[in-house]
Structure formats: C-alpha cells, structure tokens
Structure 1
Amino acid sequence: MKLVNLYPQKNIEFFTPDTSTKLKLPVVTNGISAGFPSPADDFLDSSINLNKALIRNKDATFYGRVKGDSMIDAGLSDGDLLIIDKSLEPKNGKIAVCFIDGEFTVKRIKIEKDVIWLIAENIKYKPIKVTIDNDFTIWGIVTYIIKSV
C-alpha cells in the first residue's frame, strides 16, 4: 500500500490508496465464531482482494489517520486508519471528515432543516454548530476503519 500525505500541515493525515496492487489474502468464508468454537470447515476457502472489497470508487477514495479521542465512543481511536469516500452523499448520522475554518475533523453529522451539527462521540467534547460564518465543507464519508490490535 502506497501512502502519500496530501495535507501535511493539517491535524489529520490523508493518503491516496494505491489500487494498482492486487494483494490476495486467504479468507475464511464461513465466518469466525466469536462465541463457542466451531469446526474449522476445512480451514481456508478462497482469497480476498482488500482493494476490491473496501474501495468502491478508487478515484474518490482516500485514507486518513485519526488524531485525537473525540470519536472514541464510535470506535475511532487515535492512530486508526479511515477509508474515506468523497463521492458519497452526506446523510444524517453518517461519520464524515469535514473541513471547518481551516482544520480537518472527523465527526458524526447531524443535518437539520437550517443547520448542520458536528457531533463528537466523547462526552468531553461539545457539538459544533456550523453556521454561515464558518468556512465549511463535508470532505468525505467514512466507510471503513482499520484498527491495530
């Protein structure tokens, strides 16, 4: 995976995916039990290409690395890698990467009749009300989170 930081001066790192690579990894197609162990069903069945599985629109997809803890209750931790699709329509309740007043942030968007709210998923942070006085863009919608465990 080739990562190129597109906005090094901002508080979130963005990268373009290199979709020319075809890394096929083995996958267990019958699922992996998170409860009681189940028979292995002859182990691995086929392979998966993560570029194909996780990226719907390669020309509008970027990676971004989370910085901070404002979305911890939504499962986004500092250092997580986000897959962001700029071609998706912003919808109420989606997690979005937004550009507001010169800064990138990742928040859940709440769209009301005449106002947009950026909602943190950590009680330490207050919602941000977007007004006409803000320089604001919904930059893209988060489609996947890649975590290190």
Structure 2
Amino acid sequence: MIRHINKTLTFFTPDFSEHSETVFFDTGISAGFPSPAEDFKEERLSLDNILVKNKLATFYARVSGQSMIDAGLDDNDLLVIDRSLEPAHNRIAVCFLDGEFTVKRLRVEKDGVWLQPENPNYEPIQITEENDFVIWGIVTNVIKKV
C-alpha cells in the first residue's frame, strides 16, 4: 500500500501485486462447537480483489474521531472508498469541507445537503454556497481491528 497523509485522514492506495494474497480457509469458522480440522480447504485470497470493485478509483483511509460510531465507524478503522460511485441520500461519504476531510452520512433534503454524523454528541453540518465542498468518494466497506 502507498500512504498519503492529510491532516485529518491517512489515505492508502490498494496493492494489487501478485504477492498481496494470504491463506484463506474456504469454510465457515464455527462460533459454536469446533469442526474437524480436516474439513478446511486452503486457498489463496486477496482482500483487495474482494473489497475493491474499481481498482483505479479506490482508496483506503483511516478514521480519526468518534462522529460516526453509531454507523459502526470507530476511531482507527480502515475505510474502503470508491470515488467512482455516485453520491446519494443516506450514503456514507468522505468529503472535503473547507480544507479538511471528513466522513459523514449524506442527507439530501429539499432545503439542501447536510453532512449527518452518527453520534448524538455531534451536530449535522449544512452545506452552503460559502463552503468549499467536494464529495470525494463513497465508503463501501470498513475494516476493523479486534
């Protein structure tokens, strides 16, 4: 992955080299009683091939902050962002707003566009003509550490 640092988000580009695969066991992992180990079939898997639909328009970015925790986006989670997808009401988007990147849910209403946080401790942001505003990409997946 190639890393690009911004003040509020750290962006990464996917690595599609042939060495980006890892071992994958093509069977369900039991969350109840263990299953016999001989049932596992080993294959090679690239998460980039599963999570990325448009290679040239996809980036990763790390979440910084708590404004989207009720949408399941926690501090330090890794977002998969597709810049080729159309912005639409209720989608989660990475936006460039007045010189900084932010991730919020898009709320499109008759009275305008709002960036809706998913945490009651944060206020929605109404986008006006005075804002320097670009919808940079749409979040398609989130990768979490456990």
Q: Same fold (TM over 0.5)?
A: yes
For structure 2, list consecutive stretches of 5 or more residues without a partner in the other structure: none
For structure 1, the 5+ residue unaligned runs are: none
Distance 1:22 1:91 in 2: 36
**1:108 and 1:119 mapped to 2: Cα distance?**
5
Aligned twin of 2:2: 3
Preserved contact between residue 94 and residue 103 of structure 2 (Cα < 8 Å): yes
State the TM-score, normalized to the length of structure 2: 0.88
How many residue pairs get aligned? The number is 145
What TM-score does the superposition give when structure 1 sets the normalisation length? 0.86
Cα distance, 1:3 vs structure 2:
2.7
C-alpha deviation, 1:32, in angstroms: 2.8
Aligned to 2:35: 39
- The answer to which structure has the higher strand fraction is 2
121-130 or 18-27, which moves further after superposition?
18-27
- Identity of matched residues, %: 53
What corresponds to 1:29 in structure 2? 26
4+ residue segments displaced more than 4 Å: none
Q: Which moved more, 1:88-97 or 1:113-122?
A: 113-122
CA contact (8 A) 1:22 1:51 kept: no
State whether structure 2 residue 82 is matched by structure 1 residue 85: yes
Q: 1:64 aligns with which of 58, 61, 64?
A: 61
Q: Distance in 2 between matches of 1:52 and 1:117?
A: 33
Q: Secondary structure at the match of 1:53?
A: helix
Cα deviation per residue 1:110-140 (whole Å; 9 max; x = unaligned)?
Answer: 1123411111111100111111221111100
Q: Rate the CA distance shift 1:117–1:33 in 2: closer, same or farther, 3 A.
A: farther
After TM superposition, the structure 1 stretch with the greater mean CA deviation from structure 2, 11-20 or 90-99, is 11-20
